[in-house]
Amino acid sequence: MTNVTIRVQRFNPDVDQKPHLDEFQIELTQGKTILDALHEIKEEQDGSVTFRRSCRHAICGSCAMNVNGVNMLVCDAPLKDFVDRRGRVTIRPLPYLPIIKDLVVDRTSFWEQYQRVKPWLLPPDDVPEKEFRMSPDEVKALQDAEHCIMCGACYSACQVVAMSKKYIGPHALLKAFLRVLDPRDSAPGERLTDLDQGDGVFRCHTIFNCIDACPKHLNPTQAIETLRKLVMKRQAFEAARAQRQQSLDQPISVE
């Protein structure tokens, strides 16, 4: 039987001045995830250990944490893969966000930025009789953005977010990208104007931390690059959108 040391960052705002690490010994068994280990600690050793989780299937995004310095979904992380040479695994909350308790962070700024980009569809007054038309390239680009589960791993790995919570952030920019390229949306020009503000697409430093952190292997940096190009040719993009339904042979380029 092999035991591993799980180091969990603890912080109770009612009694602690600053966070500290508590250590727990648990058995390393086949198939055990880091989330399983946290459950075992909570059920058998210390019921006050606090963390978020829901689906346990890498879908809801609520279990995003920082393990050995890397943001990830702990329900999708085999424990054996993260044991260091000293037989330890270190679990901390997502960085750069206020800690509510132990591994639970305050995601208010994350959701405020998401709301800011109006991630919902703004449909036109006149809908076409048959269909909205899209090019295969657009479909592929949008499918990537659709797979974002809003876990916050990219947001809290972003160095620009670390400096300013006014920055829209990679998660919300990816969702803005989704709506800007959506042929059913009626407000791509207004959306691009908002993204052109000082805390918008041009604030990204292209550090790629968001790509490294994304547990779904998405590419927010590429979406931000595309949005930058569209911001700079906004009028041409809007004109092309207006012509959209006239021909299947004239798809809007996302390059």
Query: In the block, which residue shows the tokens 């979904």?
Result: 73
- Give 216 or 244: the residue with its C-beta nearer to ligand FES: 216
> What Rg value do the Cα atoms of the chain yield, rounded?
21
- Give 62 or 113: the residue with its C-beta nearer to ligand FES: 62
Q: Give the burial class of 198: count Cβ atoms within 10 A of its Cβ; 0-12 exposed, 13-18 middle, 19 or more buried.
A: exposed
Could you tell me the smallest distance in angstroms from the CB atom of residue 63 to ligand FES?
Answer: 3
Question: Taking phi first (over 0 means left), then psi (-120 to 50 degrees means alpha), and beta for anything else, what does residue 123 get?
Answer: beta
Instruction: Tell me if 67 sits within 8 A of 91, measured CB to CB.
Output: yes
Q: How far apart are CA 185 and CA 179, in angstroms?
A: 7
For residue 4 the two structure tokens come to 């591993």
- Give 63 or 204: the residue with its C-beta nearer to ligand FES: 63
Could you tell me the smallest distance in angstroms from the CB atom of residue 94 to ligand FES?
Answer: 13
- Give 101 or 216: the residue with its C-beta nearer to ligand FES: 216
**Residues forming the site for ligand FES (CB under 6 A):** 53-56, 58-63, 73, 75
Q: How far apart are CA 65 and CA 103, in angstroms?
A: 7
Could you tell me the smallest distance in angstroms from the CB atom of residue 67 to ligand FES?
Answer: 13
Q: How far apart are CA 144 and CA 171, in angstroms?
A: 12
Could you tell me the smallest distance in angstroms from the CB atom of residue 154 to ligand FES?
Answer: 14
Could you tell me the smallest distance in angstroms from the CB atom of residue 2 to ligand FES?
Answer: 25
- Give 54 or 197: the residue with its C-beta nearer to ligand FES: 54
